[in-house]
């Protein structure tokens, strides 16, 4: 059997498939619909709970039951996404207006996860039933087949409040993301009413009603002047701060800072990181006035207490928290939602206008459905009232008919054939009957008690009431103002029952300027042992332990607490280390590896000497390499490096730096090689060069030999050293020319 082969470009197939996938994620999973403000998983969960009858006045049902039913009928993407959506809809610290009433552990503001779905229970909130699900039976929204076409689900819920703004939304799609903050229900409803009454209002005009976001966690929005641009374009940044209060400690002259509100962006794991950041500040010099931190938060709200030391400045600590932690944070706004089946970034006006259009659409369908129902009732009521007037004739028709269809045919079409009448007059009158099919059906089903006088009066009163409803519904459907009044009245009822006071303060606050109080410098002694662990101690502590300090440490350097130290290594590099970063403590403290304090890498280089840059500026430094090169460099050259690490000297291949030492000009120095050659020269014979220079030859080496150590002799003082097991008096060596081979030490 021949097969037709269709050739196409692989790139085109991949492009089309990826676009289809991306649009599926965007429209069907990640982004909310501008009309009801819900993502598909949220909409399906609420509708399933409605179908299961889990209403606010009914008992809670297991979350696992809801999740399983939703997954089996409407959302086949896994139980975790459904339960995650259900949990968020029940969390009052994330939602401006929770839509689900959760019972059990539904997580906490501090990032604790909800209990497993088999342990928690849920039911719909009253507002959800009234504002999202109340008119589904009136055909106000389209129902579409579910994933396997065995059920029907609403394409959108008939939301009566602008939920996209009230509860906000966050979601990451393919190539785009939405981030909409929650707002105050009362303010948003006021804005909707204002726009209904005056459609020419702009986003900036509407901000007279919607002041800005209203986060469930409270806080303070500090860039009010920038909000107009955010709401006009649908994107921008909102700066929000937590709320800090100052309390006096009872029976003490100290004060404490209490954080009672946090930025909305800190919800979850952000609180734990925030506490860690405060602890790090308390350990640093900046926040040394923070004595203790305690998290006393509970179900009643946030309460993070910072105990301050005596004499501390609470204003400075507050500024420090705003500047150095997430107590002041930025909420990125991108009001992206699905509008008319495609993703769009919407302004405040666009969102409210879409909501109003949707309200008029569903209100039109609702009242058209109600009008059709009343018209049907009118038809039947008119038939019954007319039937009462000729009830004797109708009874005669019923008694004379052979079956139900014969009687109905007579009532509808006046057909009298086959029916026995008492008189010719009755037959003539029956032939004139022209009830509608619905009226005839109602007459046939009418019970005899309806013929009682009071029942007839009630029928007439009901008929008059039906006429009034028809008149009212017709007026609403035919007049914009009448329908607008209905929508406004309904919105006002929701505002009256469900609106709450604003929690977030909107203001224009000044930028936090943190004037760091620089601690007064004091003398310290820098110690570093042979393993590279560094620390600083007070000079008084050093004096008490001088002998142990010099025996146990390879580097002992007197400097100031704010000094910058220069670490020279055998690879010819210099690393800048701030003394304030070095841990300051007791003499027996272990210290911190120097690798963690600067860019020094112990696996690739070995430190030689550490000097204070302030001291080096005033002198020259002598560099000596293993291949016998030597040079003198002005110390101020090493203070011009902007980077934390740089080359301190130039080295040939195979060479390494073995010594860096301050020059004393009138002193001499001795090179000692591995081959036991000694050469003594005057320091002033070493030329001054730039640090990028290689240097000049200090000693001429035999093949395979190298300089092993360098000794400095000051003012002719006797110096005895042990070289290859023999004591040598270096000051007895004669002073030779630089570049010579030196004298071989005899054993």
671 in helix, strand or coil? strand
Between CA 35 and CA 39, with CA 38 as vertex, the angle to 5 degrees is 120
- Residues in CB range of 328: below 8 A, 6 or more apart: 222, 239, 240, 241, 242, 263, 322, 512
Helix, strand, coil percent content, the chain, rounded in steps of 5: 40, 25, 40
Residue 665: burial class (beta carbons within 10 Å; 0-12, 13-18, 19+): exposed
Strands (E), 133-273: 143-145, 152-154, 169-172, 177-180, 220-221, 235-241, 243-248, 255-261
Query: Cα dist. 678→170, 296, 708, 713, 736 in Å?
Result: 76, 72, 10, 14, 10
Output the six-digit token pair for 104: 């059990």
Closest CA to 171 of 364, 368, 27, 347: 27
| One-character DSSP codes across 547-611 | HHHHHH-SEEEEEETT-EEEEEETTSEEEEEEGGGS-B--TT---EEGGGTSS--TTT--EEEEE
Identify whether 119 is a catalytic site residue: yes
Cα 165 off chain centre by? 17
- Between β-strands 220-221 and 505-506, what pairing exists: parallel, antiparallel or unpaired? parallel
CA distance 725 to 44: 89
Query: Cα dist. 209→62, 194, 236, 690 in Å?
Result: 40, 9, 20, 69
CA distance 344 to 350: 10
What is the separation, in whole angstroms, between the first and last Cα of the chain?
A: 102
Catalytic member of 119, 473, 533, 600: 119
CB 556 within 8 A of CB 550: yes
The 3 state secondary structure assigned to 539-551 is HHHHHHCHHHHHH
Output the six-digit token pair for 56: 């606010």
List, by residue number, the catalytic residues: 119
């Amino acid at each position: 059997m021949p097969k037709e082969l269709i050739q196409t470009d692989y790139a085109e197939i991949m492009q089309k498939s990826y676009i289809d996938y991306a649009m599926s994620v965007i429209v069907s999973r990640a982004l909310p619909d501008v009309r009801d403000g819900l993502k598909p998983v949220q909409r399906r969960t609420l509708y399933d709970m409605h179908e299961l009858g889990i209403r606010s006045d009914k008992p809670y049902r297991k979350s696992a039951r809801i999740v399983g039913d939703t997954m089996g009928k409407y959302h086949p993407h896994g139980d975790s996404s459904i339960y995650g959506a259900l949990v968020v809809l029940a969390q009052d610290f994330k939602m401006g207006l929770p839509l689900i009433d959760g019972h059990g552990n539904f997580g906490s503001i501090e990032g604790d996860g909800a209990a497993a779905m088999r342990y928690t229970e849920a039911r719909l909130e009253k507002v959800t039933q009234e504002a999202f699900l109340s008119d589904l039976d009136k055909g106000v929204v389209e129902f579409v087949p579910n994933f396997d076409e065995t059920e029907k689900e609403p394409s959108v819920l008939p939301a009566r409040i602008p939920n996209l703004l009230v509860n906000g939304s966050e979601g990451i799609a393919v190539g785009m993301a939405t981030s909409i903050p929650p707002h105050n229900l009362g303010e948003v409803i006021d804005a909707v009413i204002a726009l209904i009454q005056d459609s020419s209002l702009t986003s900036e005009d509407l901000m007279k009603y919607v002041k800005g976001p209203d986060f469930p966690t409270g806080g303070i929005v500090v860039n009010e002047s920038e909000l107009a641009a955010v709401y006009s374009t649908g994107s921008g940044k909102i700066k929000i701060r937590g709320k800090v209060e100052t309390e006096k400690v009872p029976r003490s002259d100290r004060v404490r800072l209490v954080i009672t509100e946090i930025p909305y962006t800190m919800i979850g794991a952000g609180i734990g990181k925030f506490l860690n950041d405060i602890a790090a500040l308390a350990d640093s010099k900046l926040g040394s006035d923070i004595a203790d931190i305690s998290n006393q938060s509970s179900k009643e709200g946030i309460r993070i207490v910072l105990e301050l030391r005596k004499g501390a400045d609470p204003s400075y600590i507050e500024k420090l928290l705003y500047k150095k932690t997430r107590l002041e944070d930025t909420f990125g706004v991108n009001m992206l939602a699905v509008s008319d089946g495609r993703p769009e970034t919407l302004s405040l006006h666009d969102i409210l206008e879409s909501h109003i259009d949707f309200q008029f659409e569903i209100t039109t369908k609702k009242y058209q459905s109600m009008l059709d129902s009343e018209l049907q009732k009118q038809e039947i009521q008119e038939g019954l009232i007319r039937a009462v007037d000729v009830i004797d004739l109708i009874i005669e028709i019923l008694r004379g008919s052979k079956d139900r269809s014969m009687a109905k045919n007579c009532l509808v079409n006046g057909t009298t054939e086959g029916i026995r009448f008492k008189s010719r007059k009755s037959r003539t009158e029956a032939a004139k009957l022209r009830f509608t099919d619905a009226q005839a059906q109602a007459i046939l089903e009418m019970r005899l008690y309806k013929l009682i006088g009071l029942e007839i009066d009630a029928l007439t009163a009901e008929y008059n009431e039906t006429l009034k409803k028809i008149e009212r519904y017709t007026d609403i459907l035919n007049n914009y103002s009448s329908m607008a009044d209905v929508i406004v009245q309904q919105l006002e009822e929701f505002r009256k029952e469900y609106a709450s006071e604003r929690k977030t303060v909107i203001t224009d606050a000044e930028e936090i300027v943190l004037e760091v109080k620089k601690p007064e410098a004091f003398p310290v002694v820098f110690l570093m042992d042979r393993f590279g662990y560094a620390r600083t101690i007070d000079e008084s502590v050093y004096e008490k332990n001088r002998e142990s300090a010099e025996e146990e440490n390879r580097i002992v350097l007197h400097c100031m607490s704010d000094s910058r130290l220069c670490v020279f290594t055998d690879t010819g590099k210099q690393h800048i280390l701030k003394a304030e970063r070095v841990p300051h403590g007791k003499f027996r403290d272990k210290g911190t590896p120097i690798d963690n304090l600067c860019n020094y890498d112990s696996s690739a280089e070995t430190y030689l000497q550490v000097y204070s840059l302030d001291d080096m500026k005033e002198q020259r430094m002598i560099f000596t390499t293993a291949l016998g090169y030597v040079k003198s460099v002005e110390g101020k050259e090493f203070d011009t490096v902007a980077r934390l690490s740089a080359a301190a000297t130039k080295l040939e291949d195979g060479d390494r730096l073995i010594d860096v030492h301050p020059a004393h000009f009138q002193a001499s120095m001795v090179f000692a090689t591995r081959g036991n050659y000694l050469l003594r020269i005057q320091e002033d014979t070493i030329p001054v060069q730039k640090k990028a220079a290689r240097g000049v030859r200090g000693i001429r080496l035999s093949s395979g030999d190298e300089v092993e150590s360098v000794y400095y002799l000051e003012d002719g003082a006797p110096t005895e050293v042990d070289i290859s097991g023999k004591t040598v008096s270096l000051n007895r060596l004669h002073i030779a020319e630089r570049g010579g081979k030196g004298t071989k030490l005899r054993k």
